[in-house]
Amino acid sequence: YALAHAIFAGADVLLVPSRYEPCGLNQLYAMKFGTVPIVRATGGLTDTVEEFNNEQDSGTGFKFKQPTPLALEEALFRALDLFTERPGTWQRLMVRGMKRDFSWKRSAMEYVRLYEKAIADRKSFLDGAGPR
């Protein structure tokens, strides 16, 4: 693991131009180690990488929708522009990715909340009030 962690930590960007990606872990590892992901918006990549927004100074990476060289190039240029022209904004982008919590503990808590809501909705339905 140490070599893989060192590679992720030493990279500036991770490029994941997948046509299909049911989950993907590489972008999660990249963000954990401060590497900014540039991904095709598909599957788990869409779910885990938030598009950088310049006006709001938010997001965790860069996405492109179409599986074409031109779409990939455009995302790369957006990332390179930010990296070279606004290093402070780039550093905040890296830190936001590092702060993301993809732990099982967080996921389990989301499931607990979902189940609690389902139980409350079921009780409400049985009491005649209908779902909330």
Please give the full DSSP string across 85-124, using - where no structure is assigned: H-HHHHHHHHHHHHH----HHHHHHHHHHHHHHHHHHHHH
pLDDT of residue 32 exceeding 80, the answer is: yes
Condensed to tens digits (0 to 9), the pLDDT of residues 85-121 reads 999 999 999 999 999 998 888 888 988 999 999 998 8
Give yes or no for residue 126 having a pLDDT over 70: yes
Local structure of residue 15 (DSSP, 8 states): E
**Sequence letter at residue 36:** V
Q: How confident is the model at residue 130 (pLDDT cuts 50, 70, 90)?
A: low
Average pLDDT of the residues in 2-23: 92
Reduced to 3 states (helix: H, G, I; strand: E, B; else coil), residue 46 is helix
Higher pLDDT, 20 or 64: 64
Model pTM above 0.85: no
Give residue 81's pLDDT: 98
Q: How confident is the model at residue 26 (pLDDT cuts 50, 70, 90)?
A: very high
Mean pLDDT of all residues belonging to the chain: 93
Report the share of the chain in percent with pLDDT over 70.
97
Rounded mean pLDDT of 61-78?
97
